[in-house]
Amino acid sequence: MCDYRTEGAGVTEEHLLDSPGDPDFMSSLARGLAVLRCFAEQQRPMTIAHASIATGLSRAAVRRCLYTLAQLGYAAQEGPSYVLRPKTLALGYAYLSSNSLLTRAQPILDQVRDQLHESCSLGVVEEDDVFYAARAEASRIMSVALQPGSRLPLYATSMGRVLLAGLARSERETYLRRVDLVARTPRTVTDPHEMLALLDKVAEEGFAIVDQELELGLRSVAVPVLNSARATVAAINIGTQAARVPMAILRSLYLPVLRGAAEELRLTGLT
């Protein structure tokens, strides 16, 4: 589901996509972006009914948003459904082409992939998720395909834990009070006190390993990407198959390569 409603709580559009008392907040724009974002997260043509359920917006509001997007060339109607048009690529390309971190990171991710023959990703914090900003894919190892723009929960991913560990401890505690730690597999850590201790350890050691907590059969290792002030601005990771790569190899071989890549990225002059 999209992130604009509380699932099953009957939250209305006014609660989440309006900002009462703020004369500069454009509710219509917020609603349009909510509908647009759902196309990426649902990864299928969207009917008005589907978009209404996913966003919590009324069908009338969704219909107006989709009509406007179609009139502007960002969407097209195909029968009862709507699909995105190529014009939407310009929105994402503007971010990719203007972000110096991504420009510098992609060749380094490619090098890691070619050296270890494993998929390598760069992620940043986006709300309560890790947002996949760049990726060099060797092969698909997850049931859900990952690509730039994908989002996964911070608590259940190696990059997410590295990013959380880069926050002040009070901010980690606030996050754990706010977020419901849902078990993605039987191995997922869902106790907030245990998670806080894990994040303290990640902050101390400078890396995170997640072993089949996000998806059975998948394990990953991540390290922080630091700027010139030694603050965490992103994370990079390697994801691999648990049956193929033992934990010892993840630590002895993959972790040093990742650390070298993160240091190379830092030395490019991140601020």
| Per-residue confidence (pLDDT) for residue 97, from 0 to 100 | 60
Which residues in the chain come in under a pLDDT of 70? 1-20, 41-43, 92-100, 140-145, 269-271
pLDDT number for residue 170 = 94
Q: Return the pLDDT at 5.
A: 34
pLDDT of residue 236: 96
Q: Which two tokens stand for residue 6?
A: 């509380």
Q: Which domains can be identified in the chain, with CATH numbers?
A: 13-90 (1.10.10.10), 99-266 (3.30.450.40)
What is the predicted pLDDT for the residue at 142?
56
Residue 12 has what pLDDT?
A: 36
The burial of 227, by beta-carbon neighbours within 10 Å (0-12 exposed, 13-18 middle, 19 or more buried), is given as middle
- What does the pLDDT read at residue 85? 86
pLDDT in the model for residue 4: 36
| DSSP string for 132-197 | EEEEE-SS--SSS---TT-EEEGGGSHHHHHHHHTS-HHHHHHHHHHS----SSTT----HHHHHH
- 3-class SS at 47? strand
Closest by CA to 146, choosing from 242, 43, 29, 264, is 43
Stated pTM of the model? 0.73
